[in-house]
Amino acid sequence: MENDFPLIRWKNGGPGEMILRKSGNVIYTVQRRWEDWDWLIHGFSTREGGVSTGIHRSMNLSRGNGDLPENVRENYLRIGNAIGFEPDQAIAFSQIHSSRVVEVTGQDAGSGVTKPVKEKADAMVTKDCGIVLEIMTADCVPILFADPVLHCVGAAHSGWRGTVAKIGREVVRTMEKLWQCRPENIVAAIGPSICADCYEVSTDVIEETEKAFGGRGRELKLYTEGKKEGKYQLDLWEMNRRILLEAGLREENIILPELCTCCNPDFLFSHRATGGRRGTLASFIGIKDTRD
């Protein structure tokens, strides 16, 4: 499948554990090791396979960016059919760049997708089967969590504010508190998002980064000098990797994306690459309903 898209710019030499999958005209990505987990539903959307047009071409999954509602409904049907869920199983929040984590259950199914949104938060966790957690992005970092021992999952939206607030750590702590998960069992996959080469920030963001990492941001190589004076290149992937390590995850259980949204604006939606004129990607994770 990777050979069908020779113009995709992978980071660090290749796709790593990320695999491209195609169902009809829908193209999405999955994590290689999770494909063998028969209890898990997951996938990361791309721009391919939807019906939206113009700046939303074609798999736009946001209702709040000016796309036609009927297009978004059809896009959800298509991506759901490809990955393996119905739109009324998905749950999406109003994302507010916080570190708030909410437990969701089957009663929340459809919230933010086929029903009005119920929560303002940036992460959710569940142990209920038959529902799918959804994170919306277009450069920010989506992180999906799965515990193969206790069969529970989580999802987080981690822009720079969520990252310095260490939202990934908060998801792990919530899973520990609710279900006594052991962090060393949890696998976290960072989805397609903006890479350090593309993510230029100002001094105020670096100051918050230093606070979050005890003044060790430069030492930890979380950022480098930018191309312009007073600008820096911030590495959200590395920041979140270190946060997850601090939370107790094993290094081998933290999967980096190797796929930058801003490097691939024709294949993935990127806010930076398009000046905000774009659609929205979604990352999905859930527990299959095996009941008869």
Q: Evaluate whether residue 211 is within a structural domain.
A: no
Q: Evaluate whether residue 121 is within a structural domain.
A: yes
Contact 242, 230 (CB under 8 A): no
Contact 176, 205 (CB under 8 A): no
Q: What is the mean pLDDT of the chain?
A: 95
Q: Evaluate whether residue 224 is within a structural domain.
A: no
How many domains is the chain built from?
1
CB atoms within 10 A of CB 8: 16
pLDDT per position as a tens digit, 40-64: 999 999 999 999 999 999 999 999 9
pLDDT per position as a tens digit, 188-221: 999 999 999 999 999 999 999 999 999 999 999 9
Q: What is the pTM of this model?
A: 0.97
Mean pLDDT of 120-148: 98
CB atoms within 10 A of CB 148: 15
Q: Evaluate whether residue 25 is within a structural domain.
A: yes
Q: Evaluate whether residue 143 is within a structural domain.
A: yes
Q: Evaluate whether residue 92 is within a structural domain.
A: yes
Burial 57-81 (b: 16+ CB within 10 A, else e): bbbbbbbebebeeebbeebbebbbe
- Flag whether pLDDT at 14 surpasses 90: no
Q: Evaluate whether residue 205 is within a structural domain.
A: no
pLDDT for 16: 83
- Flag whether pLDDT at 4 surpasses 80: no
